[in-house]
Amino acid sequence: MPDRSDAKAKPTSNTTPATTAQGAPAGYGDAQRGTGGELHQVAGGTHAPLTTNQGAPIADNQNSLKANPRGPTLLEDFILREKITHFDHERIPERIVHARGTAAHGYFELTESLAQFTTASILTEVGVKTPVFARFSTVAGGAGSVDTPRDVRGFAVKFYTKEGNWDLVGNNIPVFFIQDAIKFPDVVHAVKMEPDRGFPQSATAHDTFWDFISLTPESMHMVMWIMSDRTIPRSLRMIEGFGVHSFRLLDDQGRSTFVKFHWRPKLGLQSTVWDEAVKIAGADPDFHRRDMFNAIQSGNFPEWELGVQLFTEADAAKFPFDHLDATKIIPEETVPLKIIGRMVLDRWPDNFFAETEQVAFCPANIVRGIDFSNDPLLLGRLFSYLDTQLLRLGGPNFNQIPVNAPKCPFANHQRDGHMQMQQPKGRVAYEPNSLSDDSPREAPDLGLRHALVPEQGDKGRIRPETFADHYSQARLFYRSQTRAEQAHIASALVFELSKVEHVHVRERMVAHLLNIDPDLGGRVADGLALDQVPEPLPTAAPVQDLPPSPALQIIGKMKDTLQGREIGILVADGSDGATVEAIRQAASAAGATVKIVAPKVGGAVLADGSKLPADGQLAGTPSVMFDAVAVVLSADGAAMLAQESAALDFVCFAYAHLKAIAVDAGGDALLAHARLAPDQGIVSASDPDRFITAAKTRQWDREPQVRMLA
């Protein structure tokens, strides 16, 4: 395969001549040209030199030491190791990121073999059910934060294969903020609560995050994803998952093929709207965790398909981007997705702490037939995850915790250490040896192998020029969205930047957005009421107009289903039981879960005198908990609830959050009292089929009537 390690690159130097960025905010002195030609705004003033903990000045804090511009990261990079080691050990025992998690047991079943590409049995043996443990998490918040902030969701799966554990550790977004692992402590420090005040918790809407992002052009693609509806999901069962990086598959001849891994939810994608996500956090901080638990307990097991994108080095050479850059995707229109298996989660952990909290994932955990690429973010992660777990879980024997232990035989000469639970026997604890006939030995025929890849070029803290385009894929993502989704991105940016106190940070972000899309930048500038729209920032590479990718949408990919969704029916004394039952049956037949909401948790006495038990009390079960609602009331019931703010909120928020609403005469009276205008999403409760059709989607045409979008 052709080697691209001679790609042009510019070594970083702290003596690089400074140039003034066009449109730079007043008071923000020079713009220094950094690696790959990108521009970084540097605040004016005198600064102490950045040093290691030993006092050695650091010339380049942007790039890890690599064998060549596109080559592997070197173990000798003591600056990278010191920085990440300190970062990994900042907090105990809670995870630094991904602290708030939800997990479940299940299995993975291969449906199509990749035997021509890999020797990994997990990817070659069709029909075998391999045990898995999958953990989903928010990134920024602590373990006690809420489930529904605007945040990336972690998506990590541990496969207990017969050849050892394989951990596929990714997110619900296929790209990341940074290109090099040396910047990971910086981006996390920026997004975490500000250290002088301890807030905000689990939020990006604050100065330190946007200050860092606005000085880091490589983050612009990720910004489009986190400001999209991808980061406010309806359910963890309705998110995609991505391995993020390029990996390698190795066949029995040692030949390699690049691969990217994708998880696709059986229920399809679905998100909330921002106001709804905020209100869910108040109504039920454990909304996603409870949803996953209830689904598994009821037998509606969450399921995902596993897909792969396979490509060669020759294929990669034709891409208008570098696949080793973790801020880039490979559009499905360029390399189609091949579905090869499915994951089903069918068992909740017996003990949350023992499993969900103590599980340790590491991207370095691979099996024979899988290997790494030279992605510099991935290579830093191989060190960071293990280093963190040594501290968080008390020492080197964390792999003996049952949730972390392989389910296949394992043996080595590692001994002792804190919390050693095994009792190895015998005199020998080394290899090779001649004193034992049954001690473990290396196994050349069975063991892990790595791709034989020639490396050449100059060693240094260098980022390749192929990493320099920071805006083209951000533009691709934005322009691939539906009009409603574009409005949500612009509105999210306005909301977040409105929380930023420093005007120059807002202006600098708008200058970036203008490079992504002039309309987007203008909408955000108008939403912020900037006195003057800044000039676009200089770019290190020309911004390309790439073909749109509809696969990047959510609205355009929503499935025509109510599987996994919940319908709430609001009743009171005197409600018509036949109408309630007709809606319940229609919704259940469509795959939805139906819950009855009444003013009192004991239920309501229906018009025929029977008692209908309630699943939730009105004041504690708002409409934000449901995907669509029905309001079935008598005239007296409607008059009574018209005096109850929780009832008015129930219908007003359902309307504002673009949900279908079924009403009978009493329900219609309550809507009239709430001054809600009829539209196509408000249907007669006597027509359950029409209600079910409307409930399968949001009423997007209603949105301009209920909120001001950027």
Distance between CA atoms of residues 332 and 143, nearest Å: 35
In the block, residue with structure tokens 């598959």: 249
User: What φ, ψ does residue 128 adopt, rounded to 5°?
Assistant: -75, 135
Non-local (6+) Cβ contacts of 12 within 8 A are: 34, 35, 59, 60, 62, 63, 461, 462, 463
641 within 8 A of 599, measured Cβ to Cβ: yes
In the block, residue with structure tokens 């050695």: 56
The tokens for 53 are 């903990």
Distance between CA atoms of residues 478 and 474, nearest Å: 6
Catalytic residue from among 63, 68, 171, 365? 171
- Helix H or strand E encompassing 287: helix 287-297
Distance between CA atoms of residues 371 and 249, nearest Å: 6
User: What φ, ψ does residue 591 adopt, rounded to 5°?
Assistant: 100, 0
Distance between CA atoms of residues 159 and 134, nearest Å: 9
Does the active-site annotation cover 450?
no
Distance between CA atoms of residues 661 and 626, nearest Å: 11
Asked if residue 432 has a cis previous peptide bond (ω within 30° of 0), the answer is yes
Max intra-chain CA distance, the chain: 91
Does the active-site annotation cover 433?
no
Residue 313 DSSP class:
H
The tokens for 554 are 């959510």
The β-bridge partners of 102 are: 136
Distance between CA atoms of residues 100 and 436, nearest Å: 47
Non-local (6+) Cβ contacts of 687 within 8 A are: none
Distance between CA atoms of residues 343 and 352, nearest Å: 21
392 CB neighbour count, 10 Å cutoff? 19
360 within 8 A of 393, measured Cβ to Cβ: yes
Q: How many residues does the chain have?
A: 710
CA nearest neighbour of 198 among 142, 270, 267, 263: 142
The tokens for 222 are 């990720």
Distance between CA atoms of residues 22 and 19, nearest Å: 9
- Helix H or strand E encompassing 194: none
Distance between CA atoms of residues 399 and 418, nearest Å: 12
Query: Rounded to 5, what percent of the chain is helix, strand, coil?
Result: 30, 20, 50
518 CB neighbour count, 10 Å cutoff? 12
- 591 torsion bin: left (phi>0), alpha (psi -120 to 50), beta (else): left
Q: Is 671 helix (H, G, I), strand (E, B) or coil?
A: helix
List the catalytic residues.
Answer: 98, 171
